[in-house]
Amino acid sequence: MNNNAPPSQIPPENQLAPGSQVFYWPEDQLRSTATNPIAVLLADIRMIYQSDPAARNWLEVLFCYPGLQALWCYRIAHWLHRHNVAFVPRFLSHLSRWLTGIEIHPGASIGKGVFIDHGMGVVIGETTIIGDYVLIYQGATLGGTGKEKGKRHPTIGNHVIVGAGAKVLGNIRIGDHVRIGAGSVVLRDVPGYCTVVGVPGRIIQRHESVSDQLEHNDLRDVEAEVIRALFDRIKTIENQIEQLKEQDAGSSSNQQQSIAKTAAKSEQTAEEDQMIREFLDGAGI
């Protein structure tokens, strides 16, 4: 399937909502679990060894990793769901949630090498599409925003990291190599190679490297930066008011000096204005 094909040639379940970034999943990525199930299972195990330094041997991985157990149970339920088997897929999903604390709807499409770390509280909705080698931490939700029919859950690209407690909601597209910080709420499309944090989620960094690390201690605090800029602006206004009071009966030379100082700060003020407007309008994604 051609990624640039017109929407009329794309199945409705693979299309994004109006206004979203144009992106269509190739069929081999959508249905990777149907091509070579053994390779997919091995990729799931390899991903655990690559992502979790606590994985020491294959016995621990098979019997002590609820994310792997929930994922394999999902793959069985998904195969039954695709063959229109009634009741059994949802019942398997229910049992898996009871045993592992991870809820994956059998209708979701999940690629190979996906690792749900710890996993307790993870929810993956019916029309969610997840690419290959995605890392999902505990408490994450890939859900919808209402009771609409059709594609109502997110599409996640390859090599994406979804931090603990993050919420990705609605029929939106998350590009490849995106990193979503813990506790973030993402409601809009995110292009590839970006780091997203905050409520609502905002892009704080665009990276060109193919790094799968998400160092939370190095993430920017956008809210704190905006508050700091507002504080500095208030202090500047207070200083200007004090100068105006002193110049109430002053000479024209003092007024000219004040104008020159104000012009010198105009460039910095314009940058701060833009950051404040983006924060208040929820822009950035």
Q: What's the pLDDT tens digit per position in 1-28?
A: 333 344 333 344 334 344 433 333 333 3
Q: How does residue 53 score in pLDDT terms, banded at 50, 70 and 90? A: confident
| pLDDT confidence of residue 60 | 87
- What residues contact residue 200 under an 8 Å CB cut-off, 6+ apart? 185, 186, 187, 188, 282, 285
- Whether the predicted pLDDT of 257 surpasses 50: yes
User: Span 62-68, mean pLDDT?
Assistant: 92
Give 226's pLDDT tier (boundaries 50, 70, 90). Answer: confident
- Look at residue 23 in the predicted model and tell me its pLDDT: 37
pLDDT (0 to 100) of residue 187: 93
56 or 102, higher pLDDT: 102
Place 214 in a pLDDT band, splitting at 50, 70 and 90: low
Q: Who's near 173: CB < 8 A, 6+ residues apart?
A: 16, 20, 21, 23, 154, 155, 157, 189, 190
Within 13 Å of residue 127, how many CA atoms lie on the same side as its CB?
21
Q: Record the pTM.
A: 0.70
Dist. CA 69–CA 82, nearest whole Å: 20
Residues near 222 by Cβ (< 8 Å), separated by ≥ 6? 197, 198, 202, 204, 279
Average pLDDT value over all residues in the chain: 78
Res. 211 pLDDT band, cuts 50 70 90: low
Specify burial of residue 86 (Cβ count, 10 A radius: 0-12, 13-18, 19+). exposed
Q: Which residue has the higher pLDDT, 30 or 129?
A: 129
Residue 72 has pLDDT above 90, yes or no: yes
- pLDDT(110) > 90: yes
